[in-house]
Amino acid sequence: MDLTQGTAKQKNDRAKKMMLWFGIVSLIMGFAGWTSAYIVSSKRTDWISDLELPQAFIWSTATIVLSSLTYILAKNAVKKNNQRLGTLFLLATLGLGGIFIGLQFVGFSQMLENGYYFTGPTSNIKMSYVFLIAAVHIVHVVAGIISLLVVLVQQLRSKYTPENMLGLELGATFWHFLDILWVYLILFMYFVK
**Cβ distance 63 to 102 under 8 Å?**
no
Q: Please tell me whether residue 49 adopts helix, strand or coil conformation.
A: coil
Q: Please tell me whether residue 146 adopts helix, strand or coil conformation.
A: helix
* C-alpha closest to that of 69 among 180, 184, 149, 189: 180
Whether pTM > 0.85 for this model: the answer is: yes
User: Is the model's pLDDT at 177 over the cut of 90?
Assistant: yes
**Cβ distance 56 to 110 under 8 Å?**
yes
Give the separation between CA 81 and CA 76, rounded to whole angstroms: 9
pLDDT, tens digit, 9 for 90 and up, residues 9-20: 878 888 888 999
* Residue 136 CB neighbour total at 10 angstroms: 15
In this structure, is the dihedral angle defined by the CA atoms of residues 150, 155, 158 and 160, taken in order, positive or negative? positive
pLDDT of amino acid 146: 97
pLDDT, tens digit, 9 for 90 and up, residues 123-136: 788 888 888 999 99
pLDDT of amino acid 3: 61
